[in-house]
A and B are shown apart, each in its own frame.
Chain A
Amino acid sequence: MPLSLLLFLIAGLGGVAWLSARAKASALAGVGGPRLHSVPSYHGWYVALWAVVPALLFLLVWQIVSPALVTDAVLGTPAASSLPADPMGRQSILDEARSVASGELAGAFNPAAEALAPAYREAGSRYALIGAVLAVILAFAGGLFAFTRVRSDFRARTKVERLVMAVLFLASLIAVLTTLGIVLSLLFESMRFFAQVSPAEFLFGLNWSPQTALRADQAGSSGAFGAISLFWGTIFIGAIIAMIVAIPLGLMSAIYLTQYARPAARRWLKPALEILAGVPTVVYGYFAALTVAPAVRDLGVTLGLPASSESALAAGLVMGVMIIPFVSSMADDSIAAVPQAMRDGSLALGATPSETIRQVLLPAALPGVVGGILLAVSRAIGETMIVVMAAGLAANLTANPFESVTTVTVQIVQLLTGDQEFDSAKTLAAFALGLVLFVVTLLLNIAALSVVKRYREAYE
């Protein structure tokens, strides 16, 4: 029986359980009957849940367990006695036979696998049938058990609500599990990387060339994992060039929009700025590579500096533009949070609006603005597509913005696309870089939030 049909059947049983339990509860309550503790539909839900949930849980377990049972059954058949004894060869034949039995492969290359396929098919359908029958029995048993408990004083609502609360709690645990998953997977793979490359070399080495040689006599690809030039490239693009663009433009935009712009203009300009934040990064990357990079290179050539077609400046400029709305909205919030009395006091003393902004509002809002800038930096250094498309791959330790530099995120993408073998230092290096990126963005976020929090407390 196909799984979808089985699920449909169980859902149907649940529906029947709901209807019959509600009918029974309504009948109990009938005219002149006892007063129910819970409304009839809660009795319905209680019985339906008893019918459906255990059966589904059983099916889930069965899906995990049954392949092993099927394999055992196949190994017990006479056809399996001729299998080779070594585990590798045995496993490959079994896998092939399974693919043939399930129809993924039209025919087997190995005659032994071909011979095992019917056994697989037979055992598979037998265990599927057993699972289906057990699930349906479980659904009936659960439903009947719950149905007998439906009485006028039965607290169906409390029971159902307890389950609802459990589901809510489990849903909120997913976030913790995700964080845990990120930390553990990064840590685990990084450990394997650091078993091959020493952490000191990774964090302080200057030479980055992750291509490991296939043969010992190949030249030039020794596999060096000194990530300093990547860290420098990331900081150069994300924290220096992008911020030189984003901080003045974002801050001045926020000041103009909150202090000077007429409401009508503000209503149009603010969403326009927000669109900048909504443009996908791949579009920015394409724009940077196709339009900005050639212009930047021409500028570099005019200035007489060594310029390459992929430059830190092009990527940084476009990234700065992407960050503008971010800085602007954070600055907007913190300026708006400065008490009106401070502004009024300054204006009443005869200061012009710009003097008020520069000498009263900005100093008061500074912690919030700094927090916003820290968050913006954390976003900029984690940004991937713009730098992948516009910043280049060569690990250069240069301060010339017209030259190509590479960043942590570019190298992660570079190391993990194409062929991967999961124990080479090259692939694992991506996880070590990811760990560094994760830790740095986490620290920046924590710092930003604590700055913002302390500042909020000052005015409350």
Chain B
Amino acid sequence: MRARIRRRYAAERRFKWLGFAAVALSVGFLAFLLVSMASRGLGGFVETRVKLNIDFAASDLFLDPATLKGEGAEAALAAADIEGTVAAAAEKQFGPGGAAIVSEAAWLRVREAIREKPETLAGKTEFWLPSSSAFDTAAKSDGDPPSEAAYAKLNAAGGVSRGFNWSFLGGSDATDPTAVGIWGALKGSLLTMLVTIGLAFPIGVLSAVYLEEYAPRNRWTDLIEVSINNLAAVPSIIFGLLGLAVFLNVMHLPRSASLVGGLTLALMTMPVIVIAGRNAIKSVPPSIRDAALGVGASKVQVVFHHVLPLALPGILTGTIIGMARALGETAPLLMIGMRAFIATPPSGISEPATVLPVQIFLWSDEVSRGFVEKTSAAIIVLLVFLLAMNGLAIYLRNKFERRW
């Protein structure tokens, strides 16, 4: 008898331990995912710079400082071979093959410096320029042997420094991993989200109000409810197919534009908002409605003056969660062509754009090793945004949640 009880208690402890192990494994996986992204991605925010002395006076650069003042400055800058000058200076300073140490986009910074201070052209100037991807990789972890050797040599001579990579936050997509930035994708995401929330929020809230407060019990209402519940469970890629077939092939809206992306995501987000909105409206007690009706308000006034304001925090929480889901969505946007190479940030909702998750997907496909840390860095930015949105939703829920 005692042995049996001992056996049962052992089974009890085993079971409890198994449960704990399951939770620990799941949370551990999350921690592993976050830590591995952070450890890989933080390097993406740092750039390695090398010191380069450019002697403009002795170079082949034909650029008169006088032409850089007033009109014609842009044309003169565009015509001058600054790229060649930087490469030549690098070859001179670092020896043969030295141009490979400096980033392909480094000459853009030299051009900016010249534009701001044309006087630099007169003499010798010391620049700290971003290094090439191979050199950057060698400086951060382990690169190919020639870059490792070049790094060891330069580092010993004090010709290497590190700094925050501002161009990663301010730039757009590029072919060279040292020159890429996420601002273009981020702006595309913001424009897309603007379209999405502008459509999904009003439509979702109004449908929730209709279904919860006014809809008569009949077949039409059943049909509406069934379609909303089904839409919430339809795989996101199907919405992409819908967007492709309807918005692009029937309505001929511009391809790759955040307008189409926003429309597609709005259709996907709307059911989430409707369901959250209905729950929020349902939780407003009937006594509020009865009281308002009792003092003579009409049915529309009851809802818009009393029920809706009380349900708003719940609706907003659901909306933010739906928007966070839309912000991380990739598959439907691939369907409507938002995977193009976009090197300039979009300036409007009908311009070709890309969004942050798609940018991550595109970079993850790149073979160059320099893209690994950039992809992870972009993932960190995306996760920070999502965590902030979810945190805001939780805060709103805790602050405004009312128990009736």
Contacts and interface: CB of A to CB of B under 8 A. Distances in A.
Contacts of B229: 449
Interface string A397-437: 00000000000010011001100001000000011001001
Contacts of A325: 26
A286 interface: yes
Contact of B12 (A186, A353, A437, A445): A353
Nearest to A412: B237
A281 to B, nearest CB: 7
Interface in A431-448: 431, 434, 437-438, 441-442, 445
B400 interface: no
B236 A384 contact: yes
Interface in B188-206: 202-203, 206
Interface string B231-265: 10111111101101110010000000000000000
Interface stretch (B15-23, B120-128, B140-148): B15-23
B22 A252 contact: yes
Task: Give the residue among B237, B330, B382, B386 with the most A Cβ atoms within 10 A.
Answer: B237
A354 interface: yes
B372 A290 contact: yes
A357 interface: yes
A248 interface: yes
A91 interface: no
A173 B22 contact: no
Q: How large is the interface on A (under 10, 10 to 19, 20 to 34, 35 or more residues)?
A: 35 or more
A365 interface: no
A252 B387 CA distance: 26
Contacts of B330: 280-282, 384-385
Nearest to A158: B298
Contacts of B376: 286
Contact of A278 (B237, B324, B335, B361): B324
A139 interface: no
Contact of B235 (A256, A261, A283, A384): A384
A183 to B, nearest CB: 10
A442 B238 CA distance: 12
Contact of B25 (A185, A249, A412): A249
B242 A168 contact: no
B328 A282 contact: yes
Contacts of B224: 172-173, 175-176
Contact of B246 (A175, A181, A417): A181
B361 A352 contact: no
A224 B330 CA distance: 28
A249 B210 contact: no
B292 interface: no
B250 to A, nearest CB: 8
B206 A385 contact: no
A279 B238 contact: no
A257 B24 CA distance: 11
Interface in A151-198: 157, 161, 164-165, 167-169, 171-176, 178-179, 181-182, 185-186, 188-189
A330 interface: no
Given A253-B26, A260-B19, A438-B234, A171 B37 contact: no
Interface stretch (A14-22, A23-31, A268-276): A268-276
A252 B99 CA distance: 58
Contact of A357 (B8, B15, B244): B15
Contacts of B271: 175
B238 A384 contact: no
Contacts of B364: 282, 285-286, 289-290, 389
Contact of A169 (B210, B231, B335, B386): B210
A273 B271 CA distance: 24
A255 interface: yes
A279 B206 contact: no
B386 A280 contact: yes
Contacts, number: 236
B218 to A, nearest CB: 12
A355 B8 contact: yes
B203 A171 contact: yes
A171 B207 contact: yes
A189 B210 CA distance: 34
Interface in B323-382: 324-325, 327-331, 334-335, 339, 357-358, 360-361, 364, 372, 375-376, 379, 382
Interface in A196-239: none
A308 interface: no
Task: Give the residue among B30, B210, B227, B358 with the most A Cβ atoms within 10 A.
Answer: B227
Interface string A342-375: 0000000000111101100000000000000001
Contacts of A259: 19
Contacts of B276: none
Given A256-B19, A282-B361, A283-B37, A276 B26 contact: yes
Task: Give the residue among A271, A272, A325, A358 with the most B Cβ atoms within 10 A.
Answer: A272
B287 interface: no
A375 B233 contact: yes
Given A182-B242, A249-B26, A281-B328, A260 B16 contact: yes
A385 B390 CA distance: 22
B102 interface: no
A378 interface: yes
Given A175-B231, A382-B236, A383-B235, A287 B37 contact: yes
Contacts of B298: 157, 161
Contacts of A353: 12, 16
A186 B8 CA distance: 56
B23 A280 contact: no
Contacts of A324: 26
B395 interface: no
Contacts of A431: 241, 245
Contacts of B78: none
A284 B235 CA distance: 17
Interface string A285-296: 111011100000
A252 B18 contact: yes
Task: Give the residue among B239, B242, B329, B394 with the most A Cβ atoms within 10 A.
Answer: B242
A97 interface: no
B62 interface: no
A185 B242 contact: yes
B8 A413 contact: no
Contacts of A358: 15
A175 B274 contact: yes
A422 B245 CA distance: 10
B378 to A, nearest CB: 10
Contacts of A283: 33, 37, 328, 360, 379, 382-383
Complex A-B, nearest 4 residue pairs according to Cβ-Cβ distance, in ascending order: A382-B235, A280-B328, A256-B19, A252-B22
Given A168-B210, A434-B237, A434-B241, 12 more contacts: A167-B206, A171-B210, A172-B206, A175-B228, A252-B23, A278-B328, A278-B386, A279-B328, A282-B364, A291-B36, A413-B331, A437-B235
25 contacts: A168-B209, A168-B214, A171-B202, A175-B227, A186-B238, A252-B18, A273-B26, A278-B324, A279-B383, A279-B386, A280-B382, A282-B328, A282-B330, A285-B361, A286-B376, A324-B26, A378-B233, A382-B235, A384-B236, A384-B330, A413-B334, A416-B335, A437-B235, A437-B238, A445-B233
